[in-house]
């Protein structure tokens, strides 16, 4: 290196002041946006907690709803949610995974599959009350299932299936082509490749998607009210054809009462629902992170 | 090279990807217990030809094959032939090592399990790993993930996995191109050892490698329409020392490609 070269000096400072100011402004805008949404959420949670926490007790979880606020609980709503969501899971897991595998591995890539594909993505944007009304006419009346757990689960399944299918397809697509080829080269048929190679690698992604879909289903009020009506049930379903209530219905029911104390009960119900949702989302994130670190090893 | 020892023969084979013809009118035979090298410039259709030999081209939706590939007196493209069965007899090792994200043991056992060959599975796995010259390195860690192996070890694992189902012919597409010199050497000497029991067809872009490992060589080139065709084939010594076609000579001496 010559001295001349060594003594060269380049201007390494940022080129224009204007660019820097712009980027600071942009940063501040983002910060404000986050601040506003976070404050909104936080004040909501504080308000709900203030109203609901005094009502929250073991008794609240294990008692049936009642005209007397101090006696009322959400047992039937919690158990109804457990019933409906269990049946929803039983429906969406096989149907969702089957549809995803069909579209990814079996369907010929033609116009028809393209149309199906676009429709599945669009279905996710249909307002949920539409599914409620569809379920009401098809499952409740036409198929004669009545306002039952099964009718509710079928309706919720229609509502969240697009989520499961889209997420499952993404999980299936992450399995490297080279693994499938290796299996085919060993004499595997298509079913064996799907079952032994793709499924094991795609399952964490599919599970994450399914949990997120179910957590969406748990929070749905409108279609459930359409199916079950705004009921006030003092029993727990014992079979899939029983009537049911779910947490959002119960909360809605309490909110619509004229008496002020029921607002507290509604707030307590919201807290229970929120905790359930946060727990499910945390589980989904946990599964995703655990498999991510494992595949990076 | 008409020869009654040919285990696999390609007759007037052309392959299309949609409208594009990738190889045209190739006829070629592969001798039992020999290594045949497919050489030629990049894009001339070596991989395409290789994939035809065990119907791996079936997995490419727009690929269309014309002509015959005769194995055990049948055209493997006959509608009555099950491609999965063909691949059991004619295995394949890929350019990039592609072990399954499973244990070392499960990688080798995979082909056995899906084909219901689960009797004495431990012995079969050991035998395959020994044949692939990998046993000593992995015998104490069979339960570990195959991903913990080095690239060269992974490629030998892929060879062991192929050997486990006891094919007659093994197709290898540039099996050492992703490996370092030591890994390459290990694969090359393994290929020589394997000819005792197997017939090998190997694609390589490395002339020295073709000269070192193969008994027979087939040289492919591209025409003006970019379709690959066979220029000449024969004993590797003849092709390298006394090529009949001047294009072969030009390629081998490195004047193009
Ligand atoms: N899946 C495919 N779809 C379309 N064209 C392909 C495909 N695979 C290979 N080709 C084309 O076929 C020709 C031969 O490719 P390939 O067999 O990979 O050559 P090589 O292995 O000799 O480099 C190339 O022009 C390549 O672009
Ligand atoms: Mg190639």
With a 6 A CB cut-off, is B246 part of the ligand 1 pocket? no
pLDDT at position A3 is: 63
Q: Summarize pLDDT for B123-134 with one digit per residue, the tens.
A: 999 999 999 999
The two three-digit tokens of residue A174, written as one number: 């992450």
Whether the CB of B26 sits within 6 Å of ligand 1:
no
Q: Is A22 exposed, middle or buried (0-12, 13-18, 19+ CB in 10 A)?
A: exposed
* Interchain CB distance below 8 Å, A196 and B162: no
> How far apart are the C-alpha atoms of B172 and A258, rounded to whole Å?
78
What pLDDT is attached to residue B110? 97
The pLDDT assigned to B3 comes to 46
pLDDT of residue A297: 40
Q: Where are the domains of chain A?
A: 3-55, 58-296
* Shortest CA gap B85–chain A (Å): 6
Chain B residues with CB inside 8 Å of A295's CB? 101
Among B residues 68-107, those touching chain A with beta carbons less than 8 Å apart:
84-85, 87-88, 91-92, 94, 96, 98-101
Average pLDDT over residues B46-75: 95
| pTM for this predicted structure | 0.85
Q: How far does CA B193 lie from the centroid of its chain?
A: 15
Facing residues of B254 across strands? Answer: none
* Residue B14 beta carbon below 6 angstroms from any ligand 1 atom: no
Chain A residue numbers touching B56 (CB-CB < 8 A): 181, 184-185
Are residues B84 and A176, on separate chains, in Cβ contact within 8 Å?
no
Nearest CA to ligand 1 atom 11: B22
Under 8 Å CB-to-CB from B193, ≥6 apart: which residues?
B131, B133
Average pLDDT, chain B: 93
Pocket of ligand 1 contains residue B22 by CB under 6 Å = yes
Tell me the C-alpha distance between A106 and A191, whole Å: 10
Q: What percent of chain B has pLDDT over 70?
A: 97
Nearest CA in chain B to A195: B114
**Residue A116 neighbours by CB under 8 Å, 6+ apart:** A103, A107
Cα separation, B6 vs B52, whole angstroms: 17
Assembly ipTM: 0.94
Ligand 2 centroid–CA A181 distance in Å is 15
Alpha carbon nearest to ligand 1 atom 16, residue? B45
**pLDDT tens digits, residue range B111-122?**
999 999 888 999
Mean pLDDT over residues B142-168, rounded?
96
Identify the residue among B57, B58, B59 best suited for mutation to test binding to A, counting A beta carbons within 10 A and taking the highest: B59
Q: Residue A208 phi/psi, 5° resolution?
A: -55, -45
pLDDT given at position A296: 43
Note the pLDDT of residue B1: 42
Fold of A58-296: MetI-like fold (1.10.3720)
Mean pLDDT by 10 residues, chain A (297 residues): 67 73 90 93 93 91 89 93 96 95 87 84 88 96 95 96 93 95 96 94 92 94 91 88 94 90 92 94 88 55
Nearest 5°: CA angle at A215, between A171 and A246? 150
| A-B C-beta contacts closer than 8 Å | 64
């Amino acid at each position: 290196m010559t001295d001349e070269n060594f003594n060269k000096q380049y201007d390494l400072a940022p080129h224009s002041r204007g660019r820097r100011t712009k980027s600071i402004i942009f940063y501040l805008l983002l910060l404000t946006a986050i601040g506003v949404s976070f404050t909104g959420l936080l004040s909501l949670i504080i308000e709900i907690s203030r109203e609901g926490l005094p009502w929250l007790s073991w008794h609240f979880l294990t008692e049936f709803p009642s005209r007397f606020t101090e006696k009322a609980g959400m047992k039937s709503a919690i158990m109804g949610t457990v019933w409906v969501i269990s049946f929803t899971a039983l429906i969406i897991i096989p149907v969702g995974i089957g549809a995803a595998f069909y579209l990814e591995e079996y369907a010929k890539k033609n116009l028809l599959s393209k149309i199906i594909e676009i429709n599945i993505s669009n279905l996710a944007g249909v307002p949920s009350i539409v599914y409620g009304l569809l379920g009401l006419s098809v499952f409740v009346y036409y198929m004669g299932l009545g306002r039952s757990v099964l009718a509710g689960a079928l309706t919720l399944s229609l509502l969240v299936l697009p989520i499961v299918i889209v997420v499952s397809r993404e999980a299936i697509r992450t399995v490297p082509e080279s693994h499938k080829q290796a299996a085919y080269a060993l004499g595997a048929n298509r079913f064996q490749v799907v079952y032994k190679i793709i499924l094991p690698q795609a399952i964490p992604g599919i599970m994450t998607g399914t949990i997120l879909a179910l957590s969406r289903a748990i929070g749905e009020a409108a279609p459930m009210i359409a199916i079950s009506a705004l009921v006030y049930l003092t029993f727990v379903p014992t079979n899939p054809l029983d009537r049911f209530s779910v947490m959002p219905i119960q909360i809605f029911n309490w909110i619509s009462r004229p008496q002020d104390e029921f607002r507290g009960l509604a707030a307590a119900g919201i807290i229970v629902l929120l905790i359930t949702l946060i727990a499910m989302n945390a589980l989904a994130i946990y599964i995703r992170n655990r498999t991510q670190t494992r595949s990076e090893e | 090279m008409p020869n009654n020892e040919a285990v696999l023969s390609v007759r007037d084979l052309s392959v299309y990807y949609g409208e594009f013809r990738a190889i045209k009118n190739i006829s070629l035979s592969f001798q039992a217990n020999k290594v045949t090298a497919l050489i030629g410039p990049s894009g001339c259709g070596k991989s395409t030809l290789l994939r035809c030999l065990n119907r791996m081209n079936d997995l490419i939706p727009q690929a269309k094959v014309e002509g015959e590939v005769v194995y055990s007196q049948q055209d493997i493209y006959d509608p009555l032939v099950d491609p999965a069965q063909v691949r059991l007899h004619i295995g394949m090792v890929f350019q990039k090592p592609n072990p399954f994200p499973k244990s070392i043991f499960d990688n080798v056992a995979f082909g056995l399990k899906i084909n219901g060959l689960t009797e004495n599975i431990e012995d079969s796995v050991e035998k395959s790993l020994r044949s692939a010259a990998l046993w000593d390195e992995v015998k104490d860690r069979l339960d570990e993930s195959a991903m913990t192996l080095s690239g060269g070890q992974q490629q030998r694992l892929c060879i062991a996995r192929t050997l486990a189902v006891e094919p007659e012919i093994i197709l290898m597409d540039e099996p050492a191109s992703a490996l370092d010199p030591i890994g390459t050497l290990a694969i090359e000497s393994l290929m020589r050892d394997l000819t005792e029991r197997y017939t090998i067809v190997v694609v390589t872009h490395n002339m020295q490698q073709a000269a070192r490992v193969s008994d027979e060589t087939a040289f492919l080139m591209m025409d003006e329409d970019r379709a690959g065709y066979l220029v000449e084939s024969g004993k590797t010594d003849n092709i390298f020392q006394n090529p009949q076609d001047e294009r072969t000579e030009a390629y081998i001496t490195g004047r193009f490609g």
